[in-house]
Structure 1
């Protein structure tokens, strides 16, 4: 598979490489900015080979967020092109020290072997600068177009989208319908910010929006996909609340919610991914005044508040 054009404009050419994690490329006068780099070094080497075949010189990498499947090819590209790497400011240290992701998932302690794997811990790469939403000048030698960085936090704490002309590279702000069904319990760390990001995309005017997991969408198809994503996450919030008919611990919720979503915990890593996702739903309910915590017998329980606030 080669890079596929998305939309050309006076601003630049926009491309993507269809894969388990879509790779974006914004090209101006032979200079290319790569959006995310895949899971491992092999992905980065493939990007380099295809760029050279197309006559592109990679002048920068922008990571929409810092999960391993989006930053794993960074170092291989930097090795061949010597280009700078940019990542969301809040998450930049996760690129420089990817082991932080494993610490993050399991609660801040040293990760053991089953957690320290390529699916959670990518090869390290140096970050030139952290990015915040707003204008981003073209990083090459050419007088290329100014890019726009969009706040799409929720899937991670600092995720950004990258826009050029009429195209938005949306990272993991939402998933394509088939991928959403496969995941069952989509990973998000902040449901309130996730919902705000969906609204931000919904209000935008980009003609083409590309999620990292799923096919590119035009405006006619976008709204339905955003609704499906929002409905699934909010249904999970309701499921979590329903399971709190009696106070219970987080691990109990993982054990009970996964079968409801048609999911089986198959590994230590997937357990912690599900646990973090469900914790985010609990946090959202807590922010809404729906649930509260209680300590009993040296254990942390989640329970419904006395009166549920309607949303």
Structure 2
């Protein structure tokens, strides 16, 4: 947390630069947070800065329910009794974070997956909000950003600062890690196309620095997705399982995975395969207890 710092973007909009960026909208001393960081320590740091400014946290808007975006919720809510707002499909995962590692693992998660990177402390969503349009009782606007997770949103402030959650990954991160977690490839591609037409003074991704123009970043994300689709097509000229496909891709990109990364990326590979099946790029074969994928 050594690099955790508050950066002002406009008159009323700030963000905490951290492992997962945290948006801040302040007006007359009242603060709305956009996500709460990756863990309890992020929440502690936020509280420290807010106290120094003599501000008061009234609301946390969670863009989605992944642990690195809700990790500070419980610490902050317990100490401030603030409200927490989220969309309908993300709410159960915030109220009951055990759903996330269970969902990713496809069943009960063994204890090595029950860690802060996949399992946040539970907090209570008080406001279920629409995934687009005005956020009730605030001057902020929600923007539907499906694809990365179930019902993810971005949040735009009246200062025209748009927090894009995990819809956009900076190009240097894309080129370092290659495969990043996605839930729905089709809708994610639609989101990237839509964001390129969206107007804002600055765009703030959850991982990386704010930018005034997102075209290059969006294009880099799309290009990497299409590249991976091409790699999958090449690998699937012979029938392979999803696990074997992930192995081939890790070898190709030189990736070494830990347990958390493995379940995240295996889930992502299944999302790619679902997209490619729907687009008639691959077919499913069931062979001696194996589900195999083959290029059409």
Q: TM-score, normalised by structure 2?
A: 0.95
Q: Separation in 1 of the partners of 2:216 and 2:120?
A: 33
In structure 1, distance between residues paired with 2:5 and 2:101: 33
Q: Any stretches of 5+ residues in structure 1 without a counterpart?
A: 140-145, 306-311
How far is the alpha carbon of 1:190 from its aligned partner? 0.5
Any conservation in 2 of the 1:90–1:130 contact (CA below 8 Å)?
no
Is the 1:33–1:62 contact (alpha carbons within 8 Å) kept by the matching residues of 2? yes
Distance in 1, Cα, partners of 2:73 & 2:269: 30
1:246 aligns with 2:238: yes
Q: Does the 8 Å CA contact 1:169/1:210 hold for their aligned counterparts?
A: yes
- Within the candidate set 201, 209, 215, 2:209 is matched to 215
Counterpart Cα distance in 2 of 1:245 and 1:2: 49
| Partner Cα separation in structure 1 for residue 162 and residue 282 of structure 2 | 36
Residues 1:188 and 2:182 are matched in the alignment? yes
> Which residue pairs with 1:111 in the alignment?
109
Partner of 2:255: 263
Q: Give the aligned partner of residue 47 of structure 2.
A: 48
Classify the secondary structure of the residue corresponding to 2:117: coil
Determine the C-alpha separation between the residues in 2 that align with 1:301 and 1:181: 28
Aligned 8 A contact 1:92 1:130 in 2? yes
Equivalent runs, 1:161-180 vs 2, <5 Å: 161-165=154-158, 166-180=160-174
Deviation at 1:71, TM superposition (A): 0.4
SS of 1:25 mapped into structure 2: strand
CA distance in 2, matches of 1:191, 1:161: 18
| Whole-angstrom CA distance in 2 between matches of 1:239 and 1:129 | 42
CA–CA separation in structure 2 for the residues paired with 1:131 and 1:244: 41
Question: How far apart, CA to CA, are the structure 1 residues paired with 2:83 and 2:36?
Answer: 13
**CA-to-partner distance for each residue in 1:30-81, whole Å, 9 max, x for gaps?**
1110011111111101101101111211110011111111101001111121
Structure 2 CA distance for aligned equivalents of residues 114 and 186 of structure 1: 21
Q: Equivalent of 1:294, from 281, 285, 291? A: 285
The answer as to whether partners of 1:177 and 1:214 remain within 8 angstroms in 2 is no
Return the alpha-carbon distance in structure 1 between the equivalents of residues 124 and 202 of structure 2. Answer: 31
Query: Offset at 1:111?
Result: 1.3
Checking the alignment, whether the CA contact within 8 Å between 2:20 and 2:37 is kept in structure 1 is yes
> Alpha-carbon deviation of 1:299?
1.3
Q: Per-residue CA shift, 1:103-151, capped at 9, x if unaligned?
A: 10111x2211111111100000011122222211335xxxxxx211001
Aligned residues: 291
User: 2:190 is paired with a residue of what secondary structure?
Assistant: helix
RMSD over aligned CA atoms reads: 1.2
Equivalent position of 2:86 in the other structure? 87
**1:26 and 2:25 aligned:** yes
From 137, 145, 148, the counterpart of 2:141: 148
Q: TM-score scaled by structure 1?
A: 0.91
1:7 Cα shift?
2.0
CA contact (8 A) 2:129 2:136 kept: no
**Alpha-carbon separation, structure 1, partners of 2:92 and 2:127:** 10
Q: What's the counterpart of residue 77 of structure 1?
A: 76
Instruction: For structure 2, list consecutive stretches of 5 or more residues without a partner in the other structure.
Output: none
